[in-house]
Chain A
């Protein structure tokens, strides 16, 4: 293939445009049975918190038309175990790693950034200010421009590394451009979008919400047009700010929509659950899609849909 698929997110060079999406590939190791993780654009880790976290009760999942709801609730081992077991595996296998962090409050995001800033082998930081699976929707920082910028401001102040800070945005807002503006002003180098949309499925036999957490995050191809729209709007407003695009990408054709809307790279999420080889397959397909249209590089197509 003659198409140059390399790309970048700020200072982070990516050899391939497809990354895993946070929460959809754990810390990469399980995917190693299905492909060479080091050849992916990046592994974006499941959001890590300061302390171990059990997550929410089951059922945590409900399949929906072309998608699924999840209410995992950020189950994870905590930062110490993550550094010891997960990040060390990623770095020793030469995997480009974007670490996703989540905090219960602004200070915890800052503490995580302080712990991670001197750790070698981190390609970027994705700041998850938009997980819907928390007890209080008030904790979804990305739903409010002030709290979103407070988190990014705090992380920026601690983050002495040159690796980019990406703010992960929620589509469940009135104006995603306003939120994007607030995190960019607070010092985000780029944005990741979109996180899941808050949803619910009701079990009409038990007459109660199906998920143990009651509400869950909707993901998968069902939300793709929402994601493409969000990427398009934010790229239109901030054309110089790199975007890691995600939301229901299943094929190279889907990925090309995100690139044309303004994403410099894409994350593959829910589709990995059904097809663990998808991050590699989609990169190949994207190369073919570009070649068929006569492009020689991915970079020349970023945001192209805005010019027509």
Chain B
């Protein structure tokens, strides 16, 4: 289990970045425990808020003894509140949460693939991998240029960055997976790390497998608690014993082996899953 701490954090800054917001939380006792792929759960709405549930964000950066940073897309009521408060506002946060990305023990070629704000954890990951002697290729994709995140930062932190957009407003026109085989080939890639929407993760996992690379995918599932007690964020994952279980993405993920997630069966309970209804459902 991670060293999760619940604390009142002061927001140091909130800055717009393209279509997203970059938020810095003061978290001196948390930052040193953060590994790439960990997330933070943030209470929204202030004291007595009608929004009871925390919002979960992948940790973008952590500075030991000081702060953690996240990238927020203000898509809903909670994130709109969080991105509209003033610097200095105090919020309750819990971090670090979840299982981080598994890192290679030897220096191997790694390709990091992200869609939109799924690039948030990739800078931290790229720096960690390069510290381990890994060559790092990054592929950043989005529907359009304004939804890209992290291109400049990753150009600094990785050996090479490829950009794709669906509409061709930046980089190659197409999907991240169109660029993945070449990136793997350039560095003899053995490991692929991905964060982004589910259909992208599924495609990345499939392309990685077809090219003999090990993949790690950080999923984004709707969560109520983030700490493993509510059982809302489950998805079907095959275990080491070959049995599919409905596992919690908050504590058993959010980083999963791409070849173990049953992507086509997300949002269902497969009939062969552990404890699945025998007939007629339950």
Report A-chain residues with C-beta under 8 Å of the C-beta of B227.
Answer: 30-31, 33, 276
Interface residues on A, range: 35 or more
Bound CA span A46–B52, Å: 20
Cβ of A56 < 8 Å from any Cβ of B? yes
Q: Is B232 a contact partner of A276 (Cβ separation < 8 A)?
A: no
Q: Is B282 a contact partner of A277 (Cβ separation < 8 A)?
A: no
The smallest beta-carbon distance between A102 and chain B, in angstroms, is 11
Hey, what's the 0/1 contact readout for A18-29 against B, CB within 8 Å counting as 1?
Answer: 000001111000
Residues facing B in A18-54 (CB within 8 A) are 23-26, 30-31, 33-34, 46, 51-54
Cβ of B269 < 8 Å from any Cβ of A? yes
Q: Is B246 a contact partner of A33 (Cβ separation < 8 A)?
A: no
Partner of B275, one of A31, A52, A60: A52
Q: Is B269 a contact partner of A60 (Cβ separation < 8 A)?
A: no
Hey, what's the 0/1 contact readout for B260-282 against A, CB within 8 Å counting as 1?
Answer: 00000011110001111100111
Q: Is B282 a contact partner of A275 (Cβ separation < 8 A)?
A: no
With both beta carbons as reference points, the residue of chain A lying nearest to B275 in the complex is identified as A52
Report A-chain residues with C-beta under 8 Å of the C-beta of B277.
Answer: 54, 135
Q: Is B275 a contact partner of A68 (Cβ separation < 8 A)?
A: no
Report B-chain residues with C-beta under 8 Å of the C-beta of A70.
Answer: 224, 230, 232
Partner of B269, one of A46, A54, A273: A54
Cβ of B220 < 8 Å from any Cβ of A? no
With both beta carbons as reference points, the residue of chain B lying nearest to A51 in the complex is identified as B275
- What are 18 A-B contacts defined by CB distance under 8 Å? A24-B229, A24-B230, A33-B4, A34-B4, A52-B274, A54-B273, A58-B267, A61-B224, A68-B52, A70-B230, A75-B231, A135-B277, A135-B280, A135-B282, A271-B52, A272-B225, A274-B53, A276-B227
Cβ of B218 < 8 Å from any Cβ of A? no
Q: How many interface residues does B have (CB within 8 Å)? A: 40
The smallest beta-carbon distance between B279 and chain A, in angstroms, is 11
With both beta carbons as reference points, the residue of chain B lying nearest to A25 in the complex is identified as B229
Report A-chain residues with C-beta under 8 Å of the C-beta of B251.
Answer: 30
Hey, what's the 0/1 contact readout for B45-63 against A, CB within 8 Å counting as 1?
Answer: 0000011111000000000
Bound CA span A277–B54, Å: 14
Bound CA span A57–B275, Å: 13
With both beta carbons as reference points, the residue of chain B lying nearest to A35 in the complex is identified as B6
Report A-chain residues with C-beta under 8 Å of the C-beta of B230.
Answer: 24, 61, 70, 72, 273
Q: Is B276 a contact partner of A54 (Cβ separation < 8 A)?
A: yes
Cβ of B94 < 8 Å from any Cβ of A? yes
Q: Is B94 a contact partner of A273 (Cβ separation < 8 A)?
A: no
Report B-chain residues with C-beta under 8 Å of the C-beta of A24.
Answer: 229-230
Cβ of B92 < 8 Å from any Cβ of A? yes
Bound CA span A274–B91, Å: 12
Main secondary structure on B side of the interface with A: loop
Cβ of A65 < 8 Å from any Cβ of B? yes
Residues facing A in B208-244 (CB within 8 A) are 221-225, 227-235
With both beta carbons as reference points, the residue of chain A lying nearest to B78 in the complex is identified as A63
Cβ of A209 < 8 Å from any Cβ of B? no
Report A-chain residues with C-beta under 8 Å of the C-beta of B50.
Answer: 65-66
Report B-chain residues with C-beta under 8 Å of the C-beta of A53.
Answer: 275, 282
3 tightest CB-CB pairs across the interface, nearest first?
A52-B275, A61-B232, A273-B225
Cβ of B43 < 8 Å from any Cβ of A? yes
Which of B6, B92, B225: most chain A Cβ within 10 A?
B225
The smallest beta-carbon distance between B169 and chain A, in angstroms, is 26
Cβ of B152 < 8 Å from any Cβ of A? no
Report B-chain residues with C-beta under 8 Å of the C-beta of A63.
Answer: 51-53, 224
Bound CA span A68–B50, Å: 10
Q: Contacts A70-B224, A75-B275, A273-B230 given: A55-B52 contact, CB under 8 Å? A: no
Hey, what's the 0/1 contact readout for A85-104 against B, CB within 8 Å counting as 1?
Answer: 00000000000000000001
Bound CA span A72–B234, Å: 10
With both beta carbons as reference points, the residue of chain B lying nearest to A27 in the complex is identified as B229
Report A-chain residues with C-beta under 8 Å of the C-beta of B268.
Answer: 57
The smallest beta-carbon distance between A161 and chain B, in angstroms, is 27
Report A-chain residues with C-beta under 8 Å of the C-beta of B274.
Answer: 52, 54
Q: Is B53 a contact partner of A57 (Cβ separation < 8 A)?
A: no
Q: Is B229 a contact partner of A72 (Cβ separation < 8 A)?
A: no
The smallest beta-carbon distance between A71 and chain B, in angstroms, is 9
Q: Is A55 a contact partner of B231 (Cβ separation < 8 A)?
A: yes
Q: Is B232 a contact partner of A274 (Cβ separation < 8 A)?
A: no
Q: Contacts A24-B230, A135-B280, A274-B43 given: A57-B52 contact, CB under 8 Å? A: no
Bound CA span A65–B52, Å: 9
With both beta carbons as reference points, the residue of chain B lying nearest to A28 in the complex is identified as B229
Which of A25, A33, A53, A135: most chain B Cβ within 10 A?
A33
